[in-house]
Structures are given as C-alpha cells and as structure tokens.
Structure 1
Amino acid sequence: MLPVVYHPIYSDFPIPDGHRYPLSKYRLLKDYITDNLWPVTTHVPSMLNSVELKEIHAPEYVDALLTGAIPLVKMRRIGFPWSDALLTRSLTSLGGTTLTVDLALEQGVAIHLTGGYHHAHYDFGSGFCLFNDLVLAANHALKSEGIDKVLIVDCDVHHGDGTASLTANRSDIITLSVHCEKNFPSRKPDSDIDLPLQIDTGSDDYLDAFLPCLRLALAQHQPDMVIYDAGVDIHRDDELGYLAVCHEGIAKRDTAVFEACLDHQIPVAAVIGGGYRSDHAQLVPLHAELIRAAINTYYPTTWKIDNE
C-alpha cells in the first residue's frame, strides 16, 4: 500500500477571512482518499526540530520566527499573521516532508499531503512559505547511506526561488524548476535547470517541454533520490497560475514523473504543492491525481484506480 503522510493540523491554524491560502484542501484531500477506499497507509509526522532548520536557514531567522520576535514586515512578506498555531503547523509539515523522504527510501515512493514551500530563503520567508521543506528534505536525505545526490523536480507554476538560492553553491542538490515565466516571484535566481513557460501554455506544449527535460536531468545528473513538487496551479482554471494545462495533462505529468523514477530505480518523495481556488474542493480531484498515479505506477498488479 502507498505510504502517505498527513496530520489534521495542516488545515487547522488561524488565517483571516478571505485569505487566498487554500487551508481546507489538505483535509478535503485526505477525506477523499479515505472515502474512496484508496490503498494507502497513513503516517502521522512529528514536529521538526530547530537543529535541522538551522542547517539550511539563518539561525537568527529561525529563532525570531520560533519566538515571535520576527519583524512585522517580514511576516507580511510571508503572507500570514504570526501565531503559535502557525509555527506548530509549519514545523509539523516540515517533519512530514522529511518523514516522506524516509518512507520513500524504505519503499521506493511516498507522498506528503502538503508541502512545497519553495519560496523560503536563507533568512526570510515569502509567498506563504516560512521554511523551505524541499531543501530541508534533500539535506535530510543526504544523511542516508547511499544518497549522494538529490534532484528536486519542482512543477509548481511559480518559480522555486528560495530553493534555487539555498542550493546555489551545492553540487549534491540539483534543482529543476518548470514554471510560468511571467508570474510570482518577479526575481528568479537561477536553478540548475530552469524551464520557463509562456502564459497560457497548454497541456501538449507543457508535456513536450517538460518530459524531455526531466529525462535529460535524470540521465545527466544520475540522482540517488528525487523530491517532486507536484503543484496543480498549472491548471487552466487556477486563480494564481496563468498556464492552461488541463486535468488530463496533470495526470499525465504525474504518471510520467513516477514512471521515469521507477525506470531508473530512483526513490521519489512527492509533495502536493500549490493550487489555488476560492472553492477549495475543486482542487481535490487535481491533487488526487498524484496519489492515483503513484498507486497505478508502483502497485499495478495489486491495485488499479481508473480515472474518473
């Protein structure tokens, strides 16, 4: 059965009414998987400790966030009001992504039902991201025997600027970002591989550009692990996206990533990434494609979940 990582706190922290962050989608996605009796085992994470945080983030920034001493201007850049609940939720989510790495190393694949906080930099957060779970997870994976290089495949519609800046001087973490060129953030530091796409790029053009790039990255860098950010804000109806990929295109993308990793015998830890709708329930079938693709790719003789 597919290992998934989830905690109820993911949809349980205070944000202002009308906030753009899709707070309930994590709970709704977990309910969808449970209600449909999909073959998963659920793992509940613990909070990440500050020691691991300070391995990639500035210690003074970590301490300021954890104690509530961070300046208001920095919290505004993050996009949330500071609260103890926000910090507990964030640290639990970070622990969830590192747990997803551990499970993927054991079983070949694992999925985190949140994650993808790629706008967090060394000493500041941005775009709903306090700390960078993708780099934390890669750094965590590199402590495991036999893991000498990690490839972060970031398919969120927004460029992974924090990830790129945090790994700029590292040869053991390779970053691939496929994103909408004319979208947040305005400043996009170089990833190892950047694939900027034009506004309104559709499914066929998206896949024709991304899939050869993915195959080349796997062949050229030969990573020992892949961390996959499977954002669905590339969908044509996303409120913050600007690309025009359809539901089927997202399903094909997720399947292709898993199949490529399986072909190369590379364990993959996936996070669901971004997706923005006023009606959070509309995001659930899109995010669910990641779970469906993993089950159908890794357990085809035991389970097969047809597309709806």
Structure 2
Amino acid sequence: MSHSQYVLTLSCPDRPGIVNAVTGHLFENGGNILESQQYNDLETDRFFMRTVFAQSEANASPNGLFSGMETLAQRFDMHWTLRDRSQRRRVMLLASKFDHCLADLLYRWRIGELQMDITGIVANHPRETYRHIDLGDVPFHHLPVAKHDKAAQEAQLLALIEQTGTELVVLARYMQVLSAPLVERLAGRCINIHHSFLPGFKGARPYHHAHARGVKLIGATAHFVTADLDEGPIIEQDTQRVSHHDTPADLIRIGRDIERRVLAQALRCYLDDRILLNGQRTVVFAV
C-alpha cells in the first residue's frame, strides 16, 4: 500500500493539550507519525511543533486534515502549515559577480541534495559572467540595475517572481540592497547569505575590516531579509578559526567556503519546513 508523507508545522501560545489534540487529529485521519519535534520558548511562552507523518492512500483525506487543523487553529490560536512532501518548493536564485554560492547550489540541486524546482536565475551581470558554470537550461534573466532607476529593475524582478510561482527567493551573494516595498512583499520567503558572522562587520569589505581588527574567528550568516539591512532573523551561522598569518585574501578564500555551506544548510532547512519564525528570531529544528 502506497503512502503519502506530509509535514505539519505550527506555533501558538503555550497551553496544555496541544500535542494531544494535534496527534489525536492526525490519528483520526489515518496519520502515522514518523518524526516529531517540539519546543516551548519560555521567554515568550510560545509553543512550536514540527511533525512528519504518513497517510495511506486508503485513508487519505486531505480535506479532513485541513478542515480539522482549521478547527484546532481557532481553538489554540495557531499559525500553521501543512505540506505534501512530494510537492517541491519553487525557488529563484539571485546572484551578482561573486558566483561561488550560485555554483554550489546548482551542484547540490543537480545531485538531488536540494529537493527544489529552480524557477530561474536572476543576475545583475550578463550570462557571460558565469561562463565557467554549467547553467544548463535553467532560465537565466539579466536584469541590470540602473543607478537612478532601481525601481524599474525591481518591478521586473517582482513580475518574474509572480509569473513563475516562486515561493522562495535566495540571494546567493546578490550584492544589491532590496527596497523596503519589495522586502515587504517577500517577507518570510527571502533568504540572504551575509559574508560575516553577524551582527559584527556589516556592510562592504567585512573580511578587510576583520583583518584590520585581528580577529581570530571569521564566519557567515544566513538570515531572512527584512527592511532593516542585515538585521533579519538568523537561520544558520558558522565560523572558522584564523590567525595573524592570514591575509585579507586568505580570509576571503576561507570565507567563500563558509558562505557556501551556511547558505546550503539554511536552504535545506527551509525546503524541509524546519524553520519557524519567532519574532526577530527563528526556531530551527535539527536535520
């Protein structure tokens, strides 16, 4: 007998009976729980839950699942999502001159590590900039940014996002600051990789600033994009120890590797519904 797998995520004010109500509802609709994680933020008294469950086709009743969850959502004041795991996320990749993150994501996608459908690559540099990368038949869009007419370029970008049904936008070292109106339209579905271990060394040339300060650790941060530059909820971070022997060029080389793996891990968590927003922070359930 074939089975469909679903992933349910939810957050709500904490109170007794949430887990019992949710798991009981899944059981009543033929659900068999395969994985479940919960977290209670004691500071905000808010409860978070991610549950993966299977449902045999004989017992499948998506309408029953959804209608029952709507009832529970009203009862517990829940924010929730329910997704069939066979439905791949639609993701758009944005890049600029530095292409190591773009190349890495394409490689991981091609070998099946990142289960997603790429709706397109958007770059503010022409396709020839990426001639050493196998872009294949992924739609490529060159959208240059005019110095005094950035709004026109962003209108084109937003039109592409909407036309392609893009669910998530990934800034793979896209070195352009998105406007507040565009960020608002993409709230909770735009991830950036920052080439620094935030909140330190923001802005341009962070590795040069780090070298000038003689840091012993460098890192990278993946976060949701908000109107506050580089201040969005953090999803993933990593660091690596460096020393006084390392030049700015060494730090940049080391940093590229950190950036690639941090962004890939953040994207992997998003694709598998492991990230729940918690105000200015995130709850990220372990892989």
Tell me the TM-score normalized by structure 2: 0.32
Higher strand proportion: 2
Structure of higher CA gyration radius: 2
Between structures 1 and 2, the one with greater helix share: 1
**TM superposition score normalised by structure 1:** 0.30
Higher relative contact order (CA 8 A, sep 6+): 1
